[in-house]
């Protein structure tokens, strides 16, 4: 019997997550005997719990295709981690109620680590609540920290943005360093894994180019060594460019910039490494410096997206549908890198049981001996992921975006209270 599908976006969005959505929706149309409509959750899995389902069949093919060039989350995302079934069975029962009411037999969850955990839990509904559901998690995270997959859609474009911004900013600082700014600090995302900070090394054309210092979560911050390094670089080059991950920790294991606030996943809110380092440099070295935080810009810069990353994003969406109609459940389409010198890749299914709650950090073998940079092995891994351009269409000097109708399906159940 033909079943409808539910697709939801989760966690922090990327510049290519909508490309995954577009590819998935278009691929689903090829399986009309098995998949009816594709409903998108308004604001992620909240859309399922609150029965706020967007009917993507009401959108034109042109509008769906236009999603490939749109950053952000077209249907809305959220940070909501479902508890274990034993802790809050009612949440899962509600999902089943909504799925039954709207004849949903396929669930596609597009997100990162916490989303993989949620998808794994939902995939167990078939056994525990006796409801037939095919649940496929789809990889997405600029942090690039999902296990098994070679890389994560969204990361390549963020890496391209960071490397480009680092190069451009370093030229600015260099040109003014004789009489003005001596140190520039760029703060990038990365709580426990330094992939994004590491990608700034792609700005280098030689070993002496910026960034001169990269601070990674995998390397314990040593204040004395850091200050000495900055001082020596400014003395020899006249200026110093630093790229710091937001998740850099001290010898006690505490984040350098840690607040008392928590996000919806229970993670400590970060942000503030750059001003922390700036204050340190002011105090210890009395050097004029500037800092910047990439923040949302690094994950939303669709105008400079990597073509490789875009192709990855589309491929995982397409394969998610193919796996679902084959009857697979509790898997994720992952990117597998070829073994030759020339960069090649393919998509394969991997069990969520080996991905959920597993964090892939930057390997020690990618980090320079002094801990302040990455090496040639890291560059070899990173370089292919930023290759190729995928410029959007422009109108009046800015990217052209299509508006979606975002028509919701009529509710059939009582209102849900979180």
Q: Which residues does the annotation place in the binding site for Mg(2+)? A: 113
For residue 332, what is the enclosing H or E element?
strand 331-337
Told to judge if 370 belongs to the known catalytic residues of this protein, a careful annotator would answer: no
Identify the three-state secondary structure at position 261: strand
Catalytic residue among 114, 117, 143, 150: 143
Q: Are 147 and 183 in contact (CB under 8 A)?
A: no
Q: What CA–CA distance (Å, rounded) separates 404 from 18?
A: 12
Binding residues for diphosphate: 12
The DSSP call for residue 383 is: G
- Residue 349, strand partner residues: 333
Cβ contacts of 123-126, under 8 Å, gap ≥ 24 = 123/329, 123/330, 123/352, 124/85, 124/330, 125/92, 125/95, 125/96, 126/329
Give me 147's structure tokens: 């296990």
Name residue, tokens 């209102």: 415
- Sequence-ordered list of residues with C-beta below 8 angstroms from that of 275, at least 6 positions apart, any chain: 257, 291
Bond before 146 cis per omega within 30 degrees: no
Identify the three-state secondary structure at position 130: coil
Tallying the residues shown for the chain, one arrives at 418
Q: Are 144 and 155 in contact (CB under 8 A)?
A: yes
Instruction: Tell me which residues are annotated as active site.
Output: 143
């Amino acid at each position: 019997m033909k079943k409808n599908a539910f697709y939801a976006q989760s966690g922090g969005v990327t510049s290519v997550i909508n490309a995954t959505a577009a590819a998935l929706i278009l691929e689903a149309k090829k399986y009309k005997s098995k998949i009816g409509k594709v409903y998108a959750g308004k604001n992620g899995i909240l859309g399922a719990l609150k029965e706020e389902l967007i009917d993507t069949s009401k959108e034109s093919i042109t509008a769906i295709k236009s999603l490939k060039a749109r950053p952000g989350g077209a249907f809305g995302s959220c940070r909501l981690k479902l508890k274990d079934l034993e802790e809050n069975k009612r949440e899962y029962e509600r999902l089943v109620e909504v799925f039954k009411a709207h004849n949903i037999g396929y669930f596609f969850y597009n997100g990162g680590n916490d989303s993989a955990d949620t998808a794994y839990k939902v995939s167990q509904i078939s056994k525990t609540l006796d409801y037939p559901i095919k649940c496929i998690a789809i990889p997405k995270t600029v942090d690039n920290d999902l296990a098994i997959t070679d890389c994560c859609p969204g990361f390549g474009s963020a890496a391209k943005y960071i490397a480009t911004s680092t190069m451009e900013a370093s030229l600015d600082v260099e040109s003014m360093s004789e009489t003005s700014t001596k140190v520039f600090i760029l703060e990038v995302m990365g709580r426990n894994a330094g992939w994004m900070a590491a990608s700034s090394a792609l700005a280098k054309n030689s070993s002496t180019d910026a960034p001169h210092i990269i601070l990674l979560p995998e390397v314990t911050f040593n204040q004395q060594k850091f200050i000495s390094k900055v001082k020596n670089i400014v003395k020899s080059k006249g200026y110093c460019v630093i790229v710091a991950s937001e998740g850099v920790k001290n010898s006690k294991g505490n984040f350098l910039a840690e607040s008392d606030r928590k996000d919806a996943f229970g993670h400590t809110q970060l942000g503030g490494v750059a001003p922390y380092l700036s204050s340190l440099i002011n105090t210890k070295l009395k050097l004029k410096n500037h800092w910047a935080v990439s923040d949302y810009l690094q994950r939303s810069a669709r105008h400079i997206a990597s073509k490789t990353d875009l192709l990855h994003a589309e491929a995982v969406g397409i394969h998610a549908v193919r796996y679902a109609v084959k009857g697979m459940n509790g898997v994720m389409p992952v990117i597998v890198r070829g073994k030759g010198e020339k960069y090649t890749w393919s998509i394969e299914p991997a069990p969520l049981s080996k991905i959920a709650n597993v964090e892939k950090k930057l390997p020690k073998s990618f980090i320079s001996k002094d801990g302040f940079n990455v090496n040639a092995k890291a560059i070899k891994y990173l370089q292919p992921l930023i290759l190729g351009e995928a410029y959007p269409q422009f109108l009046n000097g800015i990217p052209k975006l299509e508006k979606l109708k975002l028509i919701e399906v009529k509710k059939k159940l009582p209102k849900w209270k979180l």
